[in-house]
Chain A
Amino acid sequence: MSLRDVVTPETPDGEGGPASAADLRMAEILRRDTQTVRARDELQQEASEEADDLLGRLNALEFIDDVLGEECQLPSRIGEFEIQGVLGRGGMGTVYRAYQKTLDREVALKVLAPRFSSDVTMRKRFRKEAKASAAMHHQHIVPIYDYGEAGGNVFFAMERVHGVSLDKYISAARRNGGGALDPRDAARRFAGVADALAFAHKRQILHRDVKPGNVLVHPDGTLALADFGLSKFLDDEPSAHLTSVGGFLGTLHYAPPEQARGEKLGPASDLYSLGVTMFETLVGNLPIRGDTTEAMLHALLHEEPQRLRQALPKAPRDLDVVIEKLLQKDPRHRYQDGEALALDLLRVAEDEPVRIRRQSALGRLYRRAKRNPVVTASLGTLLVLLLVVALWVKSLSDNKALKGRESLSNASVVLAREQGRVLGPHSILNALLGMPLQETAPDSQFLHELDQAERRLADRSDELEKYRASYRGDVLTGPDAVATALLAGQGRKVVDVATARIDAMFDAGDTHGLAARIDLYNLYLARAMAYLSASVADPEAADRDLYLASFMRGRAFLPRLLRALLQGAKSNPNQLLQTLQKLAEDALQRRVAGQLLLAFAGLCPPADCHLMHFSLEYSVRRQLTQRALEWLGNDAVRGEPDAPVGLERRLANLAATVLDDSGNAPVVAASFAAAREVLAKWVLPGSPLRGWAFAFHLLGDEAMSLDGVDDEARVYGAAGLVRVVQLRMGIDRGETYLRGMHDKLGAVARASKSVAAVALQASLQAWVGSFADAEPAVRAWLRVEPANPHASACMFCCLVRHGVRSESDLFQLATHAQEAQRNAVDPNAIARLMLQRLDTRQRIVGQKAPESPLLQRMRRLLEGSGG
């Protein structure tokens, strides 16, 4: 008898006792692995502890599957290229192995990630760069064959190098504890790369991202440089990659100091990166290291790199000198062109002396004096004196300039470390969220370093003033102040203004340097927030701009926070909350995170909040709202639960005016005209707010255009109008009016499949339909959103209309009232709504009969709970 025979199915592991009903049921679900979705649907309709238990288990199952990642389906073709495999993935996109049938050749097809290729301006710039790069033909440059766009993807086809990139060689060698190449061999091979750089530099093309990952090794050992010039259009500057999440140091390792300082790059910058690449190839480690991004940046700007012969004592002395020259902090002290470098590298390979070993002027003078002691003695003395004086004067000025540059470097470090003034353009955030935010004080150290730099570098005062202006966020102020536009809900205008300014900067070539980077950061961030405003409602475009803003200032808090929220719209709320808690490091950041979360959840945002509506499930919204209120405590700036906010509040007020003053034709006409103007000028077609056009059309505005108002938008607009009417249920006009629109709105609701449509249908039926129609509609809503207090309140209203005839009816009524209050963010408000329903009913029937004792008991229950 085996253990299996002894252990019965009911006691799988001998522990925990016999299997419960839930255990058996779960086992059956697992046995039918593909039926979990249906099982979930069934369980959600049950109201039992067992169902809750099983749903928890299914959530755990789903979480595991989600964490493990999904299958990734490769495209079969892009343009004329047939995809046959993946060669690699990088920050910019994926490189596929592909076949070009028309030319019968295998290529490496690099497809840019959607976040780079979805922007029209980016695509234009990419084409320009790809065209220039494609014109270069050099044996040490991986040629670009073609470039283009297909199916929304931007791609370029390169020669398929049947080898691997140098970083793989370095990794393998590092595991074996050494360098990847013999020094003289390396010198010979890298001479070709240096020559390739010289070739490109003569054509005014910089690489800007020389690193082992971009150096391909042919099967015969020849090195070839890939991805030429393509990082330029991304403004891919290493310090912009600084993140506080694990500190992604990759690109910073190979970047020259001037790039980290945000200064303009030149050929010497590429040669610096080549020097780092050579060092790492020979030694297996980098010449400059840091455990954190900040340490790395500091080392890059202020510490001397390790000498080659310190790590490899037997390396040729001349190679040590060459690399030392390449790694000079000041680009003026490096090789100025690749050709000279290539020649010196070939001399190293041939064991000949390199040319950069020159004797000093004093050395030459000494030798001459030795040859002619009498004739040159006095002249020599004078020359020495003059030389000493000249050197002393030069050292004074060099010292001042050096200190000035140091101050500038320090300012860059401060800015890189500081998280984008915490909030970036806080006036924009104020406007988006509708709440006052304390202005963050400028970093005094940054300003101090700038002042120091200005005193020492008088010829750069214009540049320094640009830094200050950028730091202040001047790019966002002026006559077209974007914050003012957003305060009025004019997200569209902000998008246009920001786009125009970004384009102007790129067209003028004014995208280099620290000041430009800060300006771009502010503009991308402002535009992202405008995309997230209700009048635009384009979260994908916002995510793209937030990514670009992160590029500009890697440690900036606000882009990361906003992106976390956008990701959170699709994933687990628990996960979102944990992420937000980790991101917010101090009290101010926690306040911003809390207030953003409150707005994002959308249950009770401030009245002037312009953030778009995210279609989250009600229970998720409530969970997020409750957590936000816990974080914020008394500091929470909140509005009335479920009241319209921002631009929608304006539209709702105009609708209310039409309802309230329906007999006053000029007032009604003016309200219609104002609504038309708001919708035409400020609300983009993709925004749900467009649905209010349908609402005003229903109110009688025949001039209101319904172009671009699809079914979903109509449902949204209709639901908004119903809310306006419901708030006015104390006025007879309200119910009568709603009854009149009942059929039209019901048709709209039935046409859509969304939760909002179910809710609208249920609301209408509960207020004005018969019980026979209302009850199933409201139950349908409760099935979809069991935790929505309005669904419970709706059932309450439905039952009240039906009439309370027995204790059993009262019990049902009380249950729904309690559910509504328990699930509501503001229980008092929902209680008042239900009391209002009782009042309305009493007003309608009161003349015929007093309120029944049972309803009086219900009223006392609600009033007692604070309604």
Chain B
Amino acid sequence: MSLTPEIAFETHREHLLSMIWLRMGPDLRKRMDPEDVLQEVAIEAINYWHTLDDDTNARAWLVTLAKRKLARILRDQVGVAARDPRRENAIQTDLPVADRRSGPVTVADRKDRLVLLEDALQKLKPEHRDVILMARIEKMSAKDIGAEMNRSENAVHLLLGRALKSLAQHLKF
């Protein structure tokens, strides 16, 4: 079965939704449903599929689409200049993730895990949070992260290691 935008999207759907949920933060999630954002990403994926030159890059490509979509939404919904959504400071709420595709307990588990991760990420230093988001959630390469943060690849790995230590402490691992 050759890779089509639908199949690529469905393959990475869970990951994309988690990324969108985390990136939006509680404030924005009050205004928009992460599932709606995901669907808009799906539409863009279908519309711009022809620009993807290599199927093996599908995930990275979808993540980039999602990030651009979120930046536009922030600009439109929040009414601020297109700041880096990673720098948004989230306020704690109890809103559940509106994942209507799961049964009751699955929704609770999923929401609990995401909230736990989000809470822990918020307690990190900004550069620790950023490197984790870029490396593990957006799956950027060390080289690309280094370019964003003006560091060498080795420094990125070290920073990520320290960030994980800090995260582990907050998660009590």
Contacts and interface: CB of A to CB of B under 8 A. Distances in A.
B48 to A, nearest CB: 17
Interface string A28-63: 111100000000000000000000010111111101
Nearest to B17: A69
A61 B162 contact: no
B164 interface: yes
A84 B11 contact: no
Contacts of A71: 11-12, 14-15
A67 interface: yes
A262 interface: no
Nearest to B169: A56
Contacts of A83: 1
Interface string B145-173: 01000111011111111101101110111
A74 B159 contact: no
Interface of B: 1, 4, 6-7, 10-15, 17-19, 36, 96, 98, 100-101, 103-105, 107-109, 111-114, 116-117, 127, 132, 136-137, 142, 146, 150-152, 154-162, 164-165, 167-169, 171-173
Task: Enumerate the 4 nearest inter-chain pairs by beta-carbon distance, A residue then B residue, closest first.
Answer: A69-B14, A246-B96, A85-B6, A26-B161
A3 interface: yes
Given A4-B152, A60-B171, A554-B104, A27 B158 contact: yes
A124 B2 CA distance: 36
Interface stretch (A16-24, A434-442, A696-704, A829-837): A16-24
Contacts of B162: 12, 16, 23
A151 interface: no
A85 B151 contact: no
Contact of B107 (A19, A248, A574): A248
Contact of A66 (B10, B113, B168): B113
A9 interface: yes
A68 B151 contact: no
Contact of B136 (A9, A61, A554): A61
Mostly, the B contact residues are: helix
Contact of A57 (B11, B14, B168): B168
Q: How large is the interface on A (under 10, 10 to 19, 20 to 34, 35 or more residues)?
A: 35 or more
B15 A12 contact: no
B154 A57 contact: no
Contacts of B117: 63-64, 67
B114 A245 contact: no
Contacts of A13: 127, 151, 155, 159
Contacts of B161: 22-23, 26-27, 29-30, 57
Interface stretch (A86-94, A200-208, A819-827): A86-94
B157 A31 contact: yes
Interface stretch (A138-146, A378-386, A421-429, A559-567): A559-567
A593 to B, nearest CB: 14
A459 interface: no
A547 interface: yes
A630 to B, nearest CB: 16
A19 B104 contact: no
A57 B150 CA distance: 24
Nearest to A172: B36
Nearest to A9: B154
A373 to B, nearest CB: 65
A245 to B, nearest CB: 4
B158 A91 contact: no
Contacts of A221: none
20 contacts: A2-B150, A7-B155, A8-B155, A12-B158, A22-B161, A26-B164, A30-B160, A56-B173, A60-B164, A64-B117, A65-B136, A68-B136, A72-B11, A74-B10, A82-B1, A84-B1, A89-B101, A245-B96, A246-B108, A579-B109
A70 interface: yes
A574 B109 CA distance: 12
Contact of A59 (B136, B146, B151, B173): B173
Nearest to B157: A27
Nearest to B39: A168
A59 B169 CA distance: 11
Contacts of B151: 4, 7, 12-13
Contacts of B17: 69
Given A23-B162, A60-B171, A547-B103, A70 B14 contact: yes
B150 A4 contact: yes
Contact of A61 (B114, B155, B164): B164
A578 interface: yes
Nearest to A68: B18
Contact of B112 (A28, A74, A575): A575
B23 to A, nearest CB: 12
Contacts of A91: 100-101, 103
A557 B149 CA distance: 49
A8 B154 CA distance: 9
